[in-house]
């Protein structure tokens, strides 16, 4: 989408936010080429690795399972993919060579769990679910999260894997001085976020990442933060984010998208409005890629990013495809 058109939609979006939902829906029909929903089950997830993740999630949906199980089992596939450099055990480490993983999960009843800075455990998303189900807390971090995972029988993995360690050593050698601002680009940001609507109309979401490659140790992005990397409201819709987590946190991104849907915006309009807010809040957009993906109770899907290149995988009874999201601008 061209910037000029987007600005127009942005203004329309502002008007929509004060309209009644029914009027907003009409506007949405006229002005947006979004993925139409039927209320039938659907699974969406970020980036091309979402195709394999969706296939696993769909097995749960197909057998009339719960969306929560679908979003957990779906992203577990990405977490175990050792070829993936930004999610799970194949992920890149922080500046000091430690692979620290972040994940969160949320269901239609607003139950949620999260882990951050988790090292050496193979399924952060399942640890996040355990935090949700077995503790009175929402989030565990660092050694506390790791101890909790071990106490609950989670498998350990040695990270970084050999190839990743080699890359990290090369990167380290190349650094003239210790990074204050690690380099960021769209190739090292590939979180998997997944949203699912099951046959009973239940929504759930998950998000898991190794975060910003070569980040400052201790850095946590948006992905494990409920409201930033993921948010689900069982009466409205769900959203997840990918890209530069710092920018997503600044606008409570996924929560913002869901709240905009609550006000009557379609998932597509809500993603566009959230991206517009990110653009407004950042003077320097160099390398600042963020993409949002959203799903409502009707099964309508929306996606939008600051720069070109963001895509998402969609699986339903009749579709199984990778879709390019609309965006505000081309990469420079």
Instruction: Write out the residues near ligand SD4 by the rule CB under 6 A.
Output: 86, 189-191, 209, 211-212, 221-223, 242-245
Task: Give whichever of 207 and 236 is closer to ligand SD4, judged by the CB atom.
Answer: 207
Residues 223/102, Cβ–Cβ less than 8 Å = yes
Identify the bridge partners of residue 272 per DSSP, sorted by sequence position. none
Q: How far is the CB of 128 from ligand SD4 (least distance, A)?
A: 15
191 an active-site residue? yes
Using alpha carbons, select from 93, 66, 76 the residue that is nearest to residue 154: 76
Task: Give whichever of 16 and 244 is closer to ligand SD4, judged by the CB atom.
Answer: 244
Task: Give whichever of 126 and 242 is closer to ligand SD4, judged by the CB atom.
Answer: 242
Tell me the CA end-to-end span of the chain in Å, nearest whole number: 15
Distance CA 255, CA 89 (A): 28
Rounded to 5 degrees, what are φ and ψ at 36?
-75, 145
Distance CA 321, CA 45 (A): 11
Q: How far is the CB of 64 from ligand SD4 (least distance, A)?
A: 31
Q: How far is the CB of 148 from ligand SD4 (least distance, A)?
A: 21
Q: How far is the CB of 291 from ligand SD4 (least distance, A)?
A: 8
Task: Give whichever of 16 and 325 is closer to ligand SD4, judged by the CB atom.
Answer: 325
Q: Of 191, 208, 209, 242, which residue is the catalytic one?
A: 191
Distance CA 96, CA 99 (A): 9
Distance CA 216, CA 207 (A): 21
Helix H segments across the chain? 3-16, 21-31, 50-62, 67-79, 124-134, 142-151, 162-174, 245-250, 253-262, 267-281
Q: How far is the CB of 191 from ligand SD4 (least distance, A)?
A: 3
Task: Give whichever of 86 and 266 is closer to ligand SD4, judged by the CB atom.
Answer: 86
Q: Which residues are catalytic?
A: 191
């Amino acid at each position: 989408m061209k910037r000029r058109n987007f600005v127009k939609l942005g203004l329309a979006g502002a008007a929509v936010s004060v309209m009644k939902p029914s009027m907003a829906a009409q506007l949405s029909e006229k002005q947006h080429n979004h993925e139409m929903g039927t209320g039938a089950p659907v699974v969406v997830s970020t980036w091309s690795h979402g195709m394999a993740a969706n296939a696993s999630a769909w097995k749960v949906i197909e057998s009339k399972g719960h969306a929560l199980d679908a979003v957990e089992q779906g992203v577990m596939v990405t977490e175990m993919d050792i070829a993936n450099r930004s999610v799970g055990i194949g992920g890149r480490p922080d500046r000091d060579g430690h692979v620290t993983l972040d994940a969160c999960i949320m269901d239609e009843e607003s139950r949620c769990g999260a882990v951050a800075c988790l090292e050496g455990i193979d399924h952060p998303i399942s640890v996040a679910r355990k935090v949700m189900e077995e503790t009175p807390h929402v989030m565990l971090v660092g050694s506390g999260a790791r101890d909790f995972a071990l106490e609950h029988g989670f498998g350990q993995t040695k990270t970084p894997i050999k190839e990743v360690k080699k890359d990290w050593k090369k990167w380290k050698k190349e650094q003239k001085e210790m990074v204050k601002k690690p380099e960021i680009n769209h190739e090292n940001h590939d979180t998997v976020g997944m949203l699912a609507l099951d046959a009973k109309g239940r929504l759930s979401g998950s998000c898991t990442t190794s975060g910003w490659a070569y980040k400052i140790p201790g850095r946590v992005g948006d992905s494990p933060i409920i409201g930033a990397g993921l948010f689900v409201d069982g009466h409205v819709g769900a959203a997840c984010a990918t890209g530069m987590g710092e920018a997503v946190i600044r606008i409570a991104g996924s929560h913002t998208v869901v709240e905009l849907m609550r006000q009557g915006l379609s998932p597509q309009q809500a993603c566009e409005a959230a991206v517009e807010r990110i653009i407004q809040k950042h003077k320097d957009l160099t390398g600042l890629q963020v993409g949002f993906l959203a799903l409502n109770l009707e099964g309508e899907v929306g996606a939008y990013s600051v720069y070109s290149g963001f895509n998402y995988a969609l699986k339903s009874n009749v579709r199984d495809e990778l879709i390019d999201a609309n965006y505000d601008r081309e990469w420079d």
